[in-house]
Amino acid sequence: MAPKGNLFQRLQHLDDAGSAERQAARQRRQQQSSAEILQTFLAYRLEDAAEKMALGITIGDSLTLQHEPTNQWDPNAVKVFWREQWIGYIPKDMAALIAAEVPEARDGLEAVVTGLATTSRRDAFRLQIAIPIPRASRRLRELGVSSSFAWDVDRTSGSDKLRLVISCSEGAFRELQELLAASFDVSKCGYSYYPAQDGRHYPWYLSLTDASGRAPEDPDVVEQLIRSHFGVPSESTRVRERQERLKELEEKQEEISTRLETSRAEQRRLQREYDTSRSVLERRAQKALAEGEQAIELAQSVEGELRQELDLKEQELQLALAEIQTLSDQLAQISTELEVNTLELDYFRQQSGSGGSGEFAVTPWTAADGGDGKAEDQEISDRLLMSLRRLAGSERLRPRQCLELVSEELCPGHLLVLDSAWRSADEAKGFEYGDRLFELLWLLATNFREQKFAGAPDLVAGQQAFGASSYAPRESQTIENNQQARRERTFSYGDKTIEMWQHLKIGVKDSENRTLRIHFCWDADLGQVVIGHCGRHLHVPGH
């Protein structure tokens, strides 16, 4: 057995020369953990310490902790191995905590030697150990095993010293030690091996004395210094502040309860007033309801009489409107006939004056026979038209096919079909009355064109060629004054832009398969009828 004096000298030498090893151990702990570290120790009697020192254990060495549930004395026992050599057991209380809260101890938990020191009485030797916890459990966090900064005044403080216990990283502890050393004498510092008065685990401790060697007179000065630097009050202060806050909340709760009771009493009073007022209103409402029913019966009777009178007036109004509409239609028809007759009369007078013989000249649009040969040609033409119309109806020719047949096959050069007309004809491919369309196109390419060559005005030529039911020289004022309607009826070809108001019409229903419009104009320079549209009914305002 080595003498105690030699052992103390070796330990003092290790403490003086171990700063580099402690720094390396500190860096290793920081690499292995997020600063959630559990501090503990192995205790040896002095006579056994020399044997352990002879193994060569130094600060920074790795250790392995292994839970030993089969231990006959303590199923929570945790063995400590250095280089696969067993060197002791963790203290019983700490071993129970590790066995219950650190499941990694079953398969082997890594630890680091952080110090070699004797006790203050120099009657025992301690091997200080830091255990990085991969993930601290809720119980460990409650006991202070956390990376957050926490501190308190220890229960062992007295008049001779002020002892602080701290839970923080090693770097923060060194920073705190330097902060306090500037104002006080830090007589002792290091690891704390037992829980504080609140059961928390504080890995670090330090003792403070003033210049007279006694505890500082005002511990609040120490707290203000730590709080100003780290922003964290002591746990005792935190508990006291919580209790004060709780007391304040209890007082507010009592005040709110008093106000609530007052409000409830006021509510009950208002409820009674409300019930009284409601009963009065209900009685008044019943009385008003009875009076209202009588007023309703009277109003219904008057309403019935007024409704009958209104119905009679409405019937009279409808009859008057119908009569006005009939008269308007008759007026429009008479105006059209008058205009046609006036134009025909002017034209006849011109023809009579130019002939010199006092007789009307014979023209293709006068429908007069010029001889037996001409009547025979007209009969053949009519028979051909009827045959072609029946053929168009039986073959169900589409609008494009009708346009192609008349403009390209039967009457080439008589019609100028614009691209817009071809497109509109393709869009109306479902139109059902191909025979009627063919007839109108044939008359447009033959009779109407001949009338125009003979000098007949559009209205006369249209009436003579198509009749009033299929031909319209213009649109209504509403349509002609509408921008969209005017734009859809404006067509361009060559260097000309023409508004084609006169049109041929088939059908009046809102059906693309049974209604079709042909918008056209006569171009005297080309000697052709120009078709700008052959398809659906163009835009009508409000329709």
- Domain assignments of the chain as residue spans, ordered by start: 1-137, 148-233, 374-535
Look at the domain 148-233 and name its fold: Alpha-Beta Plaits (3.30.70)
Give the mean model confidence (pLDDT) for residues 46-52: 72
- Give the pLDDT confidence score for residue 119 in this predicted structure: 59
Q: Helix (H, G, I), strand (E, B), or coil: what is residue 420?
A: helix
pLDDT tens-digit series, residues 372-430: 555 655 666 666 666 666 666 667 788 998 999 899 888 899 999 999 999 999 999 88
User: Minimum mean pLDDT among 133-142, 178-187, 396-405, 532-541: which range?
Assistant: 133-142
Q: Which residue has the higher pLDDT, 358 or 505?
A: 505
Instruction: Give residue 22's identity as a one-letter amino acid code.
Output: R
Strands (E) located in 53-119: 62-67, 78-82, 85-89, 109-118
Distance CA 14, CA 402 (A): 117
Task: With cut-offs at 50, 70 and 90, classify the pLDDT of residue 353.
Answer: low
| Mean pLDDT for the stretch of residues 129-136 | 71
Q: Which two tokens stand for residue 509?
A: 């229903």
* Separation between Cα atoms, residue 393 and residue 387, nearest integer Å: 10
Confidence at residue 25, expressed as pLDDT on a 0 to 100 scale: 52
Q: Which residue has the higher pLDDT, 437 or 354?
A: 437
Residue that wins the pLDDT comparison between 193 and 66: 66
Question: Which tops the pLDDT comparison, 330 or 85?
Answer: 85
Q: Is 227 helix (H, G, I), strand (E, B) or coil?
A: helix
Indicate if the pLDDT at residue 237 is higher than 60. yes
**Chain centroid, CA 356 distance in Å:** 89
pLDDT band at 7 (very low <50, low <70, confident <90, very high): very low
Q: pLDDT at residue 184 above 90?
A: no
Torsion of CA 203, 209, 214, 220, to 10 degrees: -80
Q: Flag the least confident range among 89-98, 123-132, 355-364, 371-380.
A: 355-364
Average pLDDT, the chain: 79
pLDDT attached to residue 392 = 62
pTM: 0.37
Residue 252 above 50 pLDDT?
yes
Chain centroid, CA 442 distance in Å:
62
